[in-house]
Amino acid sequence: MTSPLPSSSAAPVLDLAPVVPVVVLEDAADAVPLARALVAGGLPAIEVTLRTPAALDAIREISRSVPEAVVGAGTVITPEQVTACGAAGARFLVSPGWTDVLLTAMRASGLPFLPGVSTTSEVVALLERGVREMKFFPAQAAGGTAYLRSLAGPLPQARFCPTGGIGPDNAPDYLSLPNVVCVGGSWMIPAEAVAARDWLRIEGLARTASYLRAAGGTCR
């Protein structure tokens, strides 16, 4: 199993690139070439969501065969999934929301973790527990850039990776916010490109996404 990143803080993962690709794979055989394409395009942090039966195998294959990728597990909602993802080689964990039970399991794993929030109270509760990096989900439905901008004043210590409804048109708006470190999205992984195994197209889309930092975002 690949060694975890050195801190349970997700900051080292979020600082790698302005975009974290959110990957849903139906076939684990696509995992390695897809990961290689994303890394070649400048997006090394890859979130493989636990939405399909192939997810754990996909994480395992990327961990074994693409060491330059920082592969993580998304849609983690139970302590059992935390354990399974760690065993498969995940190097970080992402949840759509959180409970104390899930937070305890993620912290105990020793892996960097990114718990999901959509309200101010959830943000304050995580800050009380020493967590500064959070996933803002579902970003567009939960208030988008206006909501996040309103949090920057009273809660400047919180840093967000917004995910949900984000694409190339609105990603720069999110990245321009002082409390947004990066965004999550899947627009650089179109389903038809994966089905056609058009890894060069995905690499090109990933490279364009990796330039968003230089295009005006404040991702640090």
> Contact, 177 vs 198, CB < 8 A?
no
Edge-first strand order for the sheet with 70-74 is 113-114, 93-94, 70-74, 45-49, 19-23, 183-185
Q: Which listed residue (68, 80, 122, 135) is catalytic?
A: 135
pLDDT at 215: 45
pLDDT at 8: 80
pLDDT at 19: 98
pLDDT at 220: 37
pLDDT at 7: 52
* Residue 49 in this model has a pLDDT that exceeds 60: yes
* Residue 160 in this model has a pLDDT that exceeds 60: yes
Q: In Å, what is the CA distance from 131 to each residue of 22, 28, 134, 140, 197?
A: 22, 32, 8, 23, 38
Q: In Å, what is the CA distance from 32 to each residue of 79, 162, 176?
A: 26, 26, 32
* Residue 6 in this model has a pLDDT that exceeds 50: no
State what percent of residues in the chain have pLDDT above 90.
92
- Averaged pLDDT for residues 49-66: 98
Would you place residue 200 in the very low, low, confident or very high pLDDT band (cuts 50, 70, 90)? very high
What tens digit of pLDDT does each residue of 135-159 get? 999 999 999 999 999 999 999 999 9
Q: What is the largest CA-CA distance in the chain?
A: 47
For residue 130, with 0-12 CB atoms within 10 Å meaning exposed, 13-18 middle and 19 or more buried, which class applies?
exposed
Active-site residue flag, 133: no
Calculate ∠ Cα 188-193-197, nearest 5°: 120
* Residue 2 in this model has a pLDDT that exceeds 80: no
Q: Which listed residue (47, 61, 133, 203) is catalytic?
A: 47
pLDDT at 5: 42
What tens digit of pLDDT does each residue of 89-108 get? 999 999 999 999 999 999 99
pLDDT at 4: 42
Q: Is the peptide bond before 178 cis (omega within 30 degrees of 0)?
A: no
Tokens standing for residue 81: 């999934």
Would you place residue 214 in the very low, low, confident or very high pLDDT band (cuts 50, 70, 90)? very low
Looking at this protein, which amino acid is placed at residue 143?
Answer: G
- Averaged pLDDT for residues 30-56: 98
Cβ count within 10 A of residue 5:
18
Distance CA 10, CA 132 (A): 9
Mean pLDDT of the chain: 94
DSSP string, 22-86: EE--S-GGGHHHHHHHHHHTT--EEEEETTSTTHHHHHHHHHHH-TTSEEEEES--SHHHHHHHH
Looking at this protein, which amino acid is placed at residue 80?
Answer: E
Q: What is the DSSP letter of 134?
A: E
pLDDT at 133: 97
**Three-state SS at 160:** strand
Active-site residue flag, 68: no
